[in-house]
Every structure is written in structure tokens, then in C-alpha cells.
Chain A
Amino acid sequence: MNRLQALFKRKSGHILNIYVTAGYPGLHDTEPVVLALDKAGVDIVELGIPYSDPLADGETIQDSSQQALQNGMTLSLLFKQIADIRLQSQIPIVLMGYFNQMLQYGIPAFIKQCETVGVDGLIIPDLPVEIYQRDYASIFEASSLSMSFLITPQTPSHRIRTMDEASHGFIYMVSANATTGSNIQISTEYFDRIKDMELNNPRLIGFGIKDRQGYDQACNYAHGAIIGSAFIKYLASNGLDHIDRFVTNIRNQH
């Protein structure tokens, strides 16, 4: 069992997953940011592998990616940073990255390196579940890593079932059909519908959540929330000094 699965075994709700782009705002900030999030009681950290062409992301995360790349961020450096983090923290770590970067690294080598440094899960937004199942599931499933797939309000239920079967971490419920960081109308009909499906995997709701109200709402309908753009914006204006404040503004210490 990896750290992510252990977390879901231990905790069945109010899970807070915070996204940050690796190597942002400074090249060597990945480690202090993750450690501060851990200290502030965050449950999962999702590290974005910065990419030149992040299709699913809105401006905030694009800009942070661009900045991280300019800082000199690479996948090899990220693996080193995670290995260093693991000397001090056992917080579940999920890597979010576009498929091309993993292909270039070599899928078997990428998986092996993730396991070696202590990554627990993966989110690959541009690897659709059909292609995953046809070509890659066997190799990912032989590893200790948990795959998580994204669903949207438009995803048909038979596809959701397929993704639930292919996922071994959580189901990432995108709150609306929009790029990250968009101002969106939340549909509770969708949240209810998915809740009623009684999926195998826990559900985390993400995209557009920026405050306590959004977090509480996500926790009412699912096992927790993922916050990304709002945290990136916070880092952009406040730096690394008061990360705990960002977290306590979202929820009280658990």
C-alpha cells in the first residue's frame, strides 16, 4: 500500500489536496513548499511537472510552468527534490504531468524512478483511459503507483465506470468543463449524480476551488478538494513565508 492508499484507508473525508508547480516560484522552492504544506496539515501534495505546452491549464498554471522552466526545472531535478523531501516528510505525493514528458523519459524508467524516490500517484491529463488501457495499464499496474483519472460533468457514466476501474488512487472530479483556474458555475446535480454511482475510488473535486466555501461544498459531496490556481496565486503574491495561513483560511487545523 502506498501513502495515498494508506491515507484513504485512514481518512474518509475532508481531504485537502494542494497543487503546486514544481520549481515554482524558485527552482529550489519545491522542497520548502511541500514541507510547509505538510506542516500546515495538508493531506496530499500534487506536484505539477512544468511543461512547455500545458493544454488543460489556464493562465495561472501556464505562467507558473513557464516560470519554472525558465528557472531551469527538469524532471531529473524534480526526482532529486522529491528524494530530499522524503528524508523529512511522508506526505502522499502525486505527480501531475503531460504524457509527452513521460514518453520522452521512457515509461518504464519513469515509473521506476517514481517508485525509487517515493512518488505515490500519477495524474496524466492527456492520456485518455482507452489508450491507457490498451497500451499502458499493464506496466503501470505492475508498479506501486496509483493512477487517477479525471472526469467532467460531460463524461458519460459508462466512461466513468471504466475510469473508476482503471484508477487506483482517487477519481479527480473536474467541477466544470473548463481549463484550470476558470471562474465556473458549480453544478450540484453533477456532484449528486456521481455520488450516487458509488464508485470504488474516493472522489476529490478540483478546478475553480479557491476558498473555504468551495472547500466545504466539495467536502459535502465528495471526499475532499483539490486546490491549484488559488495556491499558485497566493505564492505569487506572498512568497513562501505564510503558507500555513493559506491553509488555515481554507480549513481549520485537522
Chain B
Amino acid sequence: MQGSVKYTYPEDGFYGNFGGAFIPELLQPCVEELRSQYLSIMADPSFLHQFEALLKDYVGRPTPLYYAHRLSKHYQSHIYLKREDLCHTGAHKVNNTIGQILVAQRLGKQRIIAETGAGQHGVATATVCALMGLECIVYMGEKDIVRQAPNVQRMKMLGAEVRPAKSGSKTLKDATNEAIRDWINNPKDTHYIIGSVVGPHPYPDMVSRFQSVISQEILWQLKEKTGNENPTRIIACVGGGSNAAGAYFHYLERDSVDLVSVEAGGLGVHSGKTAATSQIGTQGVIHGSMTLLMQTEDGQIVEPHSISAGLDYPGIGPMHAHLIQSKRAKVVAIEDDHAVEAAFLMAKLEGIIPALESSHALAALDTLDLEPNDINVINLSGRGDKDLATFMQKGEHE
């Protein structure tokens, strides 16, 4: 692959000041086994063959790059949608779970654990475990189990066990802690499939590589449609940052392409009810990685707020912390109601109901100076069926 190590690949696990593996000695055997083997496994031709075949025939890749005519007209600028919402299971998350399950098989693991917030990553993990016939345990905050009941049912139907995380604030960060503790206690037979570009090295790098299929496709799809591989900008929402990492990957070292990372502003960046990690967060360690996170003066991790469960995470992947600190990426925060508005606009103009997470990326169009000749690529990370209840409730007030 082309490009320097500036943004694309971490050096010793660090993206500039961020990343690394700040993990207890107890977790070292698990992480070290993965770290020492993931690159050679991923470079193996039989692995690549199987990965590509599953992405094509099972996930349904390549996903279309769709020119959104009416939306483009509305914004007076060219808008392309990368349709990750058309992936099997309804979001980009499955690109990563397919990759990791194949790694887990090659490491000889029979038991898979995962964390989930909204349930999207949990469903994507339960799906690939069913596909491969592996045992699957998904940790989910006790509060989220109640909030996201349909996804809990989907995971169960797919044969996964959903274990409530009862510690701390009983949400995504605690589900992640529980999964890590499970791994500490079951180092031999278990692989932990993390759902985003977060966690200790090598996860941010490994998950970015699996998701990089998104930008790999954008390259040739855009060339086919416009004669040029490079758009003016790529816009993606950032929870942990996996769909953004995937959409940016092959463009990271191409400085002419602007990267716009959209965080969840919640009720307002300074309202105390937000998930705008990079704006109100400070440097620290969360889930084994040095990054930007929301915390108190005492270093206790703060519970974020977003209307979108997939963006409701108090940290951000270390690659994104580095992209933002070095000003390679521009950050926009979008508030709850604005994201909902953008979802309704999209449904009306293009006949596509976007996930609430992706709606944040769409809403960012309102905040940018768009020129008529600009080529904007928006990563439409998921579909909105899972968010219908929220849309209906909010829609009544429109």
C-alpha cells in the first residue's frame, strides 16, 4: 500500500502521541498473541481470498457509491453517498467482524466475546459467529439492553448469549470493561472482537485495515464516476471511529482531500450532555489506549450523551485523536435534533432512511462552506430501521 506512516499505520502502536497498549499484565498474553500474528495472518493469500469472498457474497460488497441528485440540488454541491447501509446486517460493522472472525479461527479460538452499545456491533458479531459455528457472548450495558430491545432479540435469534454489564454506569464503556475482564479470565480459547478502532494496539490498526475496504472502493468508484479518485472532502460520523477510519484510509496521506469527522454534540457541546469527545475531552487512557476522552478533573471517566447509541462513547480511536490534534481532520459537532432533521430530509429527498449515527454526518453539510463544484463523499454508515422509534417520537414534533 502507498503512503508514509504519518497517519495510516501506527509506529510501535502509537499514532503520534496516541495509542499504545496500556493494559494490565494479565491481559498481555491475549493481546501479545494477537499482536504478534495479525499482520502475517492478514497477509496470507488464503485469508485474503476468504475475506474478499465473504465480503462479496455474504456482505454484498462492493457497496454502491450513489450520486444523490436531489440532495445535491438541495445543497448546491455534488454529494455522493457511500452506501454502507446496504451491507448485510445494515451497517459497516460487519466488515470488521468478518475479518476478525477469520483471524480468530486462524488463532484456533472457539469462543468469541464482544461488547456492544446500540447492539449493531453485537448483531454483526453474532452473525459471523453463527456463520462460522462459534460460541458467542455479547456484553451489553444493563441500561442498553432495555433501550435497544430489538437488537437484543436479533442477537438471541442468531444464537448469541447477551450478558448484562452491571458495573459502573451500565452502558457501553462498562460492557467493554466486562468483555476485557472476561478475556483476562479466558485467555486460551477466547478471541475478543472489538467493534471499533479503539482499545489496545493492535486493535485500532487491525480494525482500520478491515474497514479500509470502504475507501478502497471509493477510489475506483469515484474515478469511474468523475474521472478523479479524489473528492474535495470525505465526511463521516465518529463514535469510536471505525466507519470514518475505513472511509478515510486510502486518503489519509492525500492532503488535498479534506476529512470531516462528525461527533455527537448531544444537547450541546457545553451542555454537560454530549459525546463531543475531541472538543471537551482531554488526553488520557481508556480501554487500553492513550487518546482523547471525557473525564473529570480526577480522571474518572464521564458518561457521554447522544441520541444515537452508536456515538455514545466517552473516548475516540487513537488514530482520530492524532488526526484531530495534527489538524489533518476537521471536527464538527452535531446536536441531537439536527441529526434527526437531517434524517428526515434524506428520507424525503432520496428515499433512504439513514441510521441516527450516519445522520450526524449528513447534518454536517449544513455547517460546511460548500462550493458548487465540490465533490462531497458522505459515508452512510448504516440504515435507520433500528432508530424508527426515535424518529417517530421526534417526528411528531416536527
Residues of chain A with a CB closer than 8 A to B297's CB? 104
Q: Which chain A residues (190-240) contact chain B, with CB distance < 8 Å?
A: none
Q: Mark A119-154, 1 if CB is under 8 A from B, else 0.
A: 000000111100100000000000000000111101
A59 to B165, CA, bound (A): 11
Residues of chain B with a CB closer than 8 A to A154's CB? 28-29, 187
Residues of chain A with a CB closer than 8 A to B28's CB? 128, 152, 154-155
Interface-located stretch among B15-23, B267-275, B336-344: B15-23
A66 to B177, CA, bound (A): 14
Interface-located stretch among A6-14, A28-36, A39-47, A175-183: A175-183
Q: Mark A58-81, 1 if CB is under 8 A from B, else 0.
A: 110010001001000011100000
Is there a chain A Cβ closer than 8 Å to B185's Cβ?
Answer: yes
A62 to B174, CA, bound (A): 11
Number of residues from B at the complex interface, CB < 8 A: 34
Q: Look across to chain A and name the residue whose beta carbon is closest to the beta carbon of B21.
A: A128
Is there a chain A Cβ closer than 8 Å to B44's Cβ?
Answer: no
Is there a chain A Cβ closer than 8 Å to B164's Cβ?
Answer: no
- A to B contact number (C-beta, < 8 Å): 110
Q: Look across to chain A and name the residue whose beta carbon is closest to the beta carbon of B295.
A: A104
Interface-located stretch among B66-74, B76-84, B104-112, B284-292: B284-292
Selected from A52, A55, A103, the residue in CB contact (under 8 A) with B300 is: A52
Q: Which of B21, B23, B169, B181 has the most CB of A within 10 A?
A: B181
A54 to B25, CA, bound (A): 14
Residues of chain B with a CB closer than 8 A to A152's CB? 25-26, 28-29
Is there a chain B Cβ closer than 8 Å to A84's Cβ?
Answer: no
Is there a chain B Cβ closer than 8 Å to A19's Cβ?
Answer: no
Residues of chain A with a CB closer than 8 A to B29's CB? 152, 154, 177
Is there a chain B Cβ closer than 8 Å to A100's Cβ?
Answer: yes
- Report yes or no: A177 in contact with B284, Cβ–Cβ below 8 A: no
Is there a chain B Cβ closer than 8 Å to A24's Cβ?
Answer: no
A98 to B24, CA, bound (A): 10
A75 to B22, CA, bound (A): 21
- Report yes or no: B283 in contact with A75, Cβ–Cβ below 8 A: no
Task: Give B228 Cβ to nearest chain A Cβ, in Å.
Answer: 43
Q: Look across to chain B and name the residue whose beta carbon is closest to the beta carbon of A149.
A: B25
Task: Give B144 Cβ to nearest chain A Cβ, in Å.
Answer: 17
A128 to B289, CA, bound (A): 12
- Report yes or no: A126 in contact with B185, Cβ–Cβ below 8 A: no
A61 to B318, CA, bound (A): 29
Selected from A75, A98, A103, A155, the residue in CB contact (under 8 A) with B25 is: A155
Task: Give A244 Cβ to nearest chain B Cβ, in Å.
Answer: 32
- Report yes or no: A56 in contact with B185, Cβ–Cβ below 8 A: no
- Report yes or no: A74 in contact with B25, Cβ–Cβ below 8 A: no
Chain A interface secondary structure, helix, strand, loop or mixed? loop
Residues of chain B with a CB closer than 8 A to A76's CB? 298
Residues of chain B with a CB closer than 8 A to A103's CB? 283-285, 299
**A52-B300, A131-B22 known; A100+B167 contact, CB < 8 A:** no
- Report yes or no: B168 in contact with A52, Cβ–Cβ below 8 A: yes
Q: Mark B23-58, 1 if CB is under 8 A from A, else 0.
A: 111111100000000000000000000000000000
Q: Which of B21, B26, B28, B187 has the most CB of A within 10 A?
A: B26
A98 to B298, CA, bound (A): 12
Selected from B21, B26, B185, B284, the residue in CB contact (under 8 A) with A100 is: B284
Q: Mark B230-273, 1 if CB is under 8 A from A, else 0.
A: 00000000000000000000000000000000000000000000
- Report yes or no: A99 in contact with B26, Cβ–Cβ below 8 A: no
- Report yes or no: A75 in contact with B298, Cβ–Cβ below 8 A: yes
Residues of chain A with a CB closer than 8 A to B180's CB? 55
- Report yes or no: B173 in contact with A178, Cβ–Cβ below 8 A: no
A64 to B86, CA, bound (A): 46
Residues of chain A with a CB closer than 8 A to B168's CB? 52-53, 62, 66
- Report yes or no: B26 in contact with A53, Cβ–Cβ below 8 A: no
- Report yes or no: B26 in contact with A174, Cβ–Cβ below 8 A: yes
A53 to B299, CA, bound (A): 10
A125 to B184, CA, bound (A): 13
Is there a chain A Cβ closer than 8 Å to B301's Cβ?
Answer: yes
Is there a chain B Cβ closer than 8 Å to A51's Cβ?
Answer: yes
Q: Look across to chain A and name the residue whose beta carbon is closest to the beta carbon of B25.
A: A150
Selected from B181, B282, B284, the residue in CB contact (under 8 A) with A55 is: B181
Is there a chain B Cβ closer than 8 Å to A2's Cβ?
Answer: no
Task: Give A117 Cβ to nearest chain B Cβ, in Å.
Answer: 17
- Report yes or no: B187 in contact with A56, Cβ–Cβ below 8 A: no
Task: Give A55 Cβ to nearest chain B Cβ, in Å.
Answer: 6
Report the 5 A-B pairs with minimum CB-CB distance, sorted nearest first: A104-B299, A101-B299, A56-B24, A52-B300, A154-B29
10 A-B residue pairings within 8 Å (CB atoms): A51-B299, A53-B173, A62-B168, A103-B284, A103-B299, A104-B284, A104-B298, A127-B22, A152-B29, A177-B26
- Residues on B facing A (Cβ under 8 Å): 20-29, 167-169, 173-174, 177, 180-181, 184-185, 187, 282-288, 295, 297-301
